[in-house]
Structure formats: structure tokens, C-alpha cells
Copies of this chain bind each other. A is one copy, B any other.
Amino acid sequence: MENPQDEKEEREHFLRIVRAFKYYKHHSLEKIARTERYLAKLPNHHRELLEHYTQHLSALKTCIENNDKIIRRIIKDVSTIFENSHLIDSKVVANTPSAIPSSADMEKVQATLKQFVRDWSEEGKAERDACYQPIIEELEKHFPESIRSKREHRVLVPGAGLGRLAYEIASRGFTCQGNEFSLFMLFGSNFILNRCEGPNSLQVHPWVHQSVNCLKSEDQTRGVRFPDVNPSCLPPQAQFSMAAGDFLEIYVDKNYWDCVATCFFIDCANNVVAFIETIYKILKPGGIWINLGPLLYHFADMVGEDSIEPSYEVVREVILGTGFMIE
């Protein structure tokens, strides 16, 4: 049983993220309005030269309205998605006060919209293939069906985001659990995995907030359809789950997993050694860790956050020192 203080903090955190999603439309339209107010102050002959830009700002507003429709669906009934959702009264969610979300949280809402494209659209395929394929191939190589049924192999994907890598692993027959800490991603993955209405049924405008380095105005307003596959169409025997929470807190059982697959994950630690140590502990003897991704330490330069940022050379030493052998 959690203590009341933890429950209160958890509830407040939950409500903060809901508020951020809800604030998306107002925040985004207000930014356009600021640009329009500045445009209105420019000399007439500048405004005439910028006629197509003025039209473009109107198109951006339509894109934002469309994105907001997706967002409304993401946060609909969000209060019911967790086991501990008794903490969240849906009326409280509906009437949550309008404290202004931080710009960091607004960027995370935008990042969630873009992540649908990366993880669940035809357009994201090249990016996914570059990151997920090497992991999946390694996995298949180490655990061929001939040894024992794939389903008997437990694979954990920490930092699962919108769940595509974990889904792909599960759809190949492995027992797979995705783990994610961010509520932005958890709201998104709940939506995509559980409320989907068939391939390419939805459209997002992922680049609408990316106003720099556009060749054409249309580059910014372009819509992308998703999901490329129906995420709820896993084979009936597939073993797939998502677990919400802090990797270091949740995964304490030793010798449990056959494989931990991390993709763009280990640099999200305050202390990368703790991640490496935990991965080692929870793996069965003979189990494998497959990792892909940069060392773009998430907490470097983040105010109020502890962080160490060792080079790959040092991380490699830590990996070997923990007991891993590197292949």
C-alpha cells in the first residue's frame, strides 16, 4: 500500500500531464496569434510580400485543430488506464484547473505526436528499420525456435515509448513486456495499442511546430496517416504487456528475463551504472542484453537533476566490470 503523500504526488503528476495535453490547442494557436500580431505591425509592402506566409499561418491553425482531435482521443477516459486508477477521479480530470503547463511539457506533447509517425506510420519505416531491425535480428539469432518455443523466452523492453519495438518482438512469438516511465508516452501507447480502428484510420500533422529549415510551406503542414498496421491484431497466442513505472523500481526480481532489449534508453538514466547493474541482475544466467542508441544523456544540463555523463569508453568498462561479456 502506498503512503498518502506518494498517492497525492502521483495524482498531481497525472493531472499535470493531462493538463499539458489539454493545453496543446490553446498554446499552439496562441503562438500563431503572436506571429499574426507581429505581421500586422509590419509595413504594408512587407505584408504584401508575405501574402503566402499569411495564408500558411491559417493552414497551420487547421493542422493544430486536427492534431487536437487526436489529443482529445488520447486523453479520453485516460483516468481508467492504470491499475491504480482509483486514484484519479474522472470528474477531477475533466475539471482540472487550468494552471499553465511548462514549455518543456508542451514540447513533450509535440514529441508524442511525432512519435506516432516514427513508431506507427509507413513514413517512419526507414527510421524503425534502422533501429529495431538489428535488435530483432540479434534476438532471433540468439533464440532460434529450435532450442525451445519462442514463447518461453521472456524479453523486456525498457523505455518502450509507444510500444512498437515490444509489439514487433511479441508478434514474432516471444513473450514481451514493454516498460515506460513517461505518462506522455503511456497515454499515447494506451491509445495506439488499445483504441485503434484499423490501418491508416488516423492523421496527424507532426511537423506543424517545426517552422525552421522548411523548403516549402507544405513541408510543415503535411499530414501523415497512422497506424501502418492494426496494433490490436497480434496473433491470438501472443504474449504482450506494457508496464508503467520506473525501470529501477519495478524490476527487482533476479534471474527472470532471457533478454533485455534497450533502444535509445540507457542515456535516460541519472546514473547509467544503476541501469547496467539492474539489467545484469534481472537477466537469467546466459541471458542477453541487446542495446542500440546514443549517449545523449537525458539529464545533462537539466536544472535540479543529478547526472553523470561518461564516454562510451567508460560505459564499456562499466558494462564489463558489472560482469557482462561484450560480443
Asked if residues A35 and B307 are in contact (CB atoms below 8 Å), the reply is yes
Bound-state CA distance A314–B46 (Å) is: 12
Given B35, B52, B313, which contacts A317 in the complex, CB threshold below 8 Å? B52
Q: How many Å lie between the Cα of A35 and that of B312 in the bound state? A: 18
Q: Is the CB of A46 within 8 A of B215?
A: no
Does the CB pair A213–B42 fall under 8 Å?
Answer: no
A310 interface hit (Cβ, 8 Å) = yes
Among B50, B314, B321, the residue within 8 A (CB) of A310 is B50
21 A-B residue pairings within 8 Å (CB atoms): A38-B271, A38-B306, A38-B308, A42-B271, A49-B273, A50-B308, A50-B314, A50-B318, A52-B314, A52-B317, A56-B311, A211-B297, A211-B309, A212-B294, A212-B295, A213-B296, A214-B312, A216-B313, A217-B313, A217-B314, A220-B311
Partner of A49, one of B48, B215, B321: B321
Is B296 a contact partner of A212 (Cβ separation < 8 A)? yes
Residues in B neighbouring A215, C-beta threshold 8 A: 311-313
Which residue on B lies nearest to A270, using beta carbons?
A: B38
So how many copies of this chain end up in the complex?
Answer: 2
Q: Which residues of B contact A212 (CB under 8 A)?
A: 267, 294-297, 300, 309
A259-279 vs B, Cβ < 8 Å mask (1 yes, 0 no): 000000001001101100100
Contact with B along A215-244 (1 / 0, CB 8 A): 111011000000000000000000000000
Query: Closest chain B residue to A271 by CB distance?
Result: B42
Tell me the nearest residue of chain B to A303, going by C-beta: B103
A322 at the A/B interface (Cβ < 8 Å)? yes
Residue of B nearest to A267 (CB): B212
Say which size band chain A's interface belongs to.
35 or more
Which residue of chain B has the shortest Cβ distance to A216 in the bound complex?
A: B313
Given contacts A38-B307, A50-B310, 7 further A-B contacts (CB under 8 A): A35-B309, A49-B273, A50-B318, A56-B310, A211-B297, A216-B311, A216-B312
Distance of A308 Cα from B57 Cα, bound (Å): 10
Residues of B within 8 A of A300 (CB): 211-212
Bound together, the chains give a CA A305 to CA B205 distance in angstroms of 26
The answer to whether A53 and B314 touch across the interface, beta carbons within 8 angstroms, is yes
Segment 25-81 of A: residues with Cβ below 8 Å from B: 34-35, 38-39, 42, 46, 48-50, 52-53, 56
Look across to chain B and name the residue whose beta carbon is closest to the beta carbon of A47: B273
> In whole Å, how far is A71's beta carbon from the nearest beta carbon of chain B?
20
Whether B294 contacts A213 by the Cβ 8 Å rule is yes
Which of B35, B274, B312, B321 interacts with A308 by CB under 8 Å? B35
